[in-house]
Amino acid sequence: MFIRDAKRNSPARELRGSTRKWCRMKPPVSPYLLRYQPLLLFIAFVFLSANPSFAQSSDLKQAVSLSRKYLASTNDDEQRQLEKQLAILKPDLDAVVAELRNHSYEPVKPGYFPEQHFFDPQRLKKHPDDLLYFTVPKSYQPDRPTGLIIFLHGGGGNTPRKAPADSMNFPHRGETEEDSSQLGNLFESTGMIAVGPSAPWNERSNNRWCLPDADEYLADVIAECKSRFNIDPNRVILLGHSMGGFGAFHHAQRQPDRFAAVIIIAGAFKTSYWPATRGTSLCIIQAVQDAMPKERWHYTDIAFGRLTNQLLSQHKIDHAYLEHNGHHGLNFAKKRLAEFLKSADKLKRDPYAPQIALATPVGFSRSYLYPVQHNRWLTLDEPTEGTIPVDELRDNGSKNFDDWKLSHVTSELPGALIEAVNRGDNTIDVTASNVRQFTVWLHPRMIDLSRPVKIIVNGKQRFLDVVSPSLPAALDSYQRRHDWGMIYPIMVRVDIE
């Protein structure tokens, strides 16, 4: 107990110019406590045995607290210490994740909300001038997860940040649904939240959704929506038109694991590694009269859509290809878009897709190829030098409208790739090119934990062992995408000699 100052009846404390110090005395031990200590310990043991939920609740709280510290830490030594503490605990991992992702949401009025800024201070600091346009359906309830549609607008380098206003609202008075490019009623019919962000700013680029910082920007848009609304992470749809269609082609290859579906309207690509899109639904909507003499060049000609459809079919990539007889404008594509979105409630991301691929670098054209590290349950840790095959669409260079032609070629470009198949018998079969090390992330839904897991790479067994889930691995898997819908509590690092 503390020695108290007899005159002031308060703990003695160190004062400036004084020699008083804190001091402690060992408290006396009651003889009754010593006598009944074994009995008390026995009672505690019986209580915990009869009430395991009490101990589990304590473990859960401690695990959640340590997990939050682990995720917030930027110090390697601190993370290692926290990892050791987390490894000792044996909480229900699903319960920990549920607590970590738990968030309460305020009611939101339905309707159209234009020219919004990021709320989160860090995201606002990164994107102070960018705008967000929201459409909230009447059916939205803050206690029930709902899907999210991200609309990438068209335009070019000088298109203003207010461009989403041309598509995110409801038809104006006097406009018919067929004549209007506004998508508000269509979004309302899906029951999903819709957001239209302004494209990353760059006056020198007509492909602003494909710029190097566009990946992180879209991740920030998704995170912002999740902070405002109760979003189901497995029901996020990417929708792009024109320049936004280029962007949709781009991100379908680079981060397909973020989306349940990617919809490309009046878009085009020039370079692609299509197997990287496996596991994500694709829909391509193209106008037969997109290119018109003296009106619009062949930037997004119908030939792009038809050749893309052929390539996806050759690669056996699940997709929908829809044509319409209209022109480039978004209003002409609305009927086809509505057809595809009728199944919006069934479009869900599969974090455990049995066949996936990761290629790097990828992008919608050679000028926009950037490195990729993650896709679902794969992480590329260390690539080596070499080339990979890619599909390219090239025109003949003619400046005459009628002589213009588009064709497909297969090219070899510098890069690395991993293609992986979960065969369903605790065997992961991998084909890798130009890879020294990669990581396979697993979930109990993907394997039988009572049996060894086998990983075969290029026909040679590289791993065979029993694996078990761990909380640190689950948290590390979250850190890759900051997405609670993609948690893998088992990590296997594979070296290729």
Residues 97, 121 share a domain: no
Residues 42, 141 share a domain: no
Residues 90, 52 share a domain: yes
Helix 52-72 × helix 93-101 angle, to 10°: 50
Average pLDDT, the chain: 90
Q: Which pLDDT band, with edges at 50, 70 and 90, does 42 fall under? A: low
The DSSP code for 262 is: E
Give the pair of three-digit tokens for residue 345: 């409630």
Q: What would the pLDDT profile of 235-277 be if each residue is shown by its tens digit? A: 999 999 999 999 999 999 999 999 999 999 999 999 999 999 9
Structurally, how many domains does the chain consist of? 2
Q: Is residue 445 domain-resident?
A: no
> At residue 229, what are phi and psi to the nearest 5 degrees?
-130, 160
Distance CA 234, CA 350 (A): 7
Contacts of 360 (CB under 8 A, 6+ apart): 371, 372, 373, 380, 383, 415, 416, 417
Residues 120, 88 share a domain: no
Nearest to 308, CA basis, from 374, 368, 262: 262
pLDDT at res. 497:
72
Task: Identify any residues that bridge with 455 across adjacent strands, giving them in sequence order.
Answer: 428, 463
Q: Which domain holds residue 142?
A: 111-351
pLDDT at res. 173:
85
Residue 1 has pLDDT above 90, yes or no: no
Task: Identify any residues that bridge with 413 across adjacent strands, giving them in sequence order.
Answer: 388
Residues 259, 134 share a domain: yes
Check: CB of residue 243 under 8 Å from CB of residue 156.
yes
State the DSSP string of 31-93. HHHHHHHHHHHHHHHHHHHH-HHHHHHHHHHHHHHHHHHHHH---HHHHHHHHHHHHH----H
Site of tokens 């680029």: 205
Q: What would the pLDDT profile of 418-461 be if each residue is shown by its tens digit? A: 999 999 999 999 999 999 999 999 999 999 999 999 999 999 99
Residues 261, 240 share a domain: yes
Check: CB of residue 263 under 8 Å from CB of residue 245.
no
Check: CB of residue 342 under 8 Å from CB of residue 193.
no
Distance CA 131, CA 427 (A): 46
Q: What would the pLDDT profile of 277-291 be if each residue is shown by its tens digit? A: 999 999 999 999 999
Quickly list H helices, 298-395: 302-314, 330-341
Residues 138, 223 share a domain: yes
Residues 309, 184 share a domain: yes
Burial class (CB in 10 A: 0-12, 13-18, 19+), 99: middle
Q: Is residue 54 domain-resident?
A: yes
Q: Is residue 71 domain-resident?
A: yes
Give the pair of three-digit tokens for residue 203: 């006056």
Q: Is residue 428 domain-resident?
A: no
Q: Is residue 57 domain-resident?
A: yes
Please compute the mean of the pLDDT values over residues 186-195 and round it to a whole number.
97
Q: Is residue 360 domain-resident?
A: no
CATH number at residue 294: 3.40.50.1820
Residues 115, 93 share a domain: no
pLDDT at res. 2:
29
Final residue before a domain boundary, out of 302, 321, 351: 351
Which one-letter amino acid corresponds to residue 275? P
Residues 115, 97 share a domain: no
